[in-house]
């Protein structure tokens, strides 16, 4: 996970801001900030005015153009792909399966120590085979983070464990520029007190349903049978919940290849007239007419065209379908 990716990108282009509180804006929101700003109380996804009230010295940088972030993400992923199979999770995050390299290293040398933070204590004197694999995994994680910083300038945090879910949870425990490993012996103690929202796929509605069942933590969920979860959420999701609350995740790291579609979108505050909309961004209106649609496309299309050109140069693909969608008052 690249630490405060957007903010770090802007600071790398402006090194003199390294020790200053920096926020990245999109429209009227501060979407993210660096750790200096966070320590001063600036949260993510808050209106600009609110962020400035939290920190009057906050340096704001417009981050609406995602082009430099996409380019930086591509460079970072190219470095990481040298170490194993990579599954992208957005511009700033990925899962990496290093099993093959870990097995090679364990076979050729006896690992003796972990790197970084470890949940489960020092296991060097009583390590299981699984712990030895994780031990080498932490060493590889440190190598990956070092390579990314050396070759791109970006600092990353990393989580290491036996599956994707636990590794993602571990990643958030110690930041920035740190790594954390969750050993098998530490899984249950770590999992039990966590809120159910930590489980992938559990949103507000599922959380509310579980609360009605008396379940607020993963430990609470362990008291439910597979039949109870399946009857409430269906077989597939019920099985996933039953496994997840015990720290199990059997999904594999998959390189999903190139994106099947490219899109660009924008959102605007409500407008009461076309003239008002034109003033806002010269591209929006509530009632879409052919003239208005042309203005919208003229605003959004250049970014999409540039990305299509990049994609064609890399993949030799040509798009076959073009779709325009709009939503007004929550209705498509």
* Residues catalogued as catalytic: 93
Distance CA 70, CA 65 (A): 10
Neighbours of 112 (CB within 10 A): 9
Distance CA 278, CA 240 (A): 47
Distance CA 43, CA 33 (A): 8
The helix, strand and coil proportions of the chain, stated in percent and rounded to the nearest 5, come to 45, 10, 40
Whole-Å CA distances, 110 to 98, 183, 205: 17, 18, 48
Omega of the bond leading into 176 within 30 degrees of 0 (cis): yes
With beta carbons less than 8 A apart as the criterion, state whether 8 and 155 touch: yes
Whole-Å CA distances, 235 to 152, 163, 211: 44, 21, 20
Residue 44 exposed, middle or buried by CB count within 10 Å (0-12, 13-18, 19+): middle
Name which of 26, 68, 63 is nearest 307 in CA terms. 68
Neighbours of 178 (CB within 10 A): 16
Q: Are strands 22-26 and 29-33 parallel, antiparallel or unpaired?
A: antiparallel
């Amino acid at each position: 996970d690249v630490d405060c990716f957007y903010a770090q990108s802007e600071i790398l282009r402006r090194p003199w801001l390294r020790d200053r509180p920096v926020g990245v804006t999109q429209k009227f929101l501060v979407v993210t900030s660096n750790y200096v700003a966070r320590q001063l109380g600036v949260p993510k996804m808050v209106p600009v005015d609110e962020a400035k009230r939290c920190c009057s010295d906050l340096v704001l940088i417009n981050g609406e153009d995602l082009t430099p972030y996409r380019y930086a993400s591509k460079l970072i992923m190219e470095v990481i792909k040298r170490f194993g199979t990579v599954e992208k999770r957005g511009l700033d995050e990925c899962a990496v399966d290093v099993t093959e390299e870990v097995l090679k290293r364990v076979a050729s040398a006896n690992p003796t120590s972990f790197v970084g933070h470890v949940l489960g204590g020092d296991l060097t004197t009583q390590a299981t085979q699984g712990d030895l694999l994780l031990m080498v995994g932490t060493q590889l994680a440190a190598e990956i983070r070092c390579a990314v910083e050396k070759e791109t300038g970006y600092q990353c945090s990393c989580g290491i464990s036996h599956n994707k879910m636990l590794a993602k949870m571990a990643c958030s425990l110690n930041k920035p520029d740190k790594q954390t490993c969750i050993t098998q012996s530490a899984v249950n103690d770590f999992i039990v007190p966590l809120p159910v929202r930590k489980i992938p796929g559990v949103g507000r509605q599922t959380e509310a349903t579980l609360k009605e069942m008396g379940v607020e933590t993963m430990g609470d969920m362990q008291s439910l049978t597979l039949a109870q979860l399946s009857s409430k959420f269906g077989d597939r999701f019920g099985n996933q919940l039953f496994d997840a609350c015990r720290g199990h995740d059997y999904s594999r790291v998959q390189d999903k290849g190139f994106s099947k579609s490219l899109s660009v979108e924008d959102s605007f505050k409500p407008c009461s007239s076309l003239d008002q909309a034109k003033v806002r961004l010269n591209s929006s209106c509530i009632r879409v007419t052919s003239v208005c649609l042309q203005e919208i496309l003229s605003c959004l299309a250049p970014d999409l065209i540039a990305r299509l050109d990049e994609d064609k140069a890399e993949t030799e693909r040509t798009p076959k379908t073009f779709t325009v969608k709009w939503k007004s008052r929550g209705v498509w």
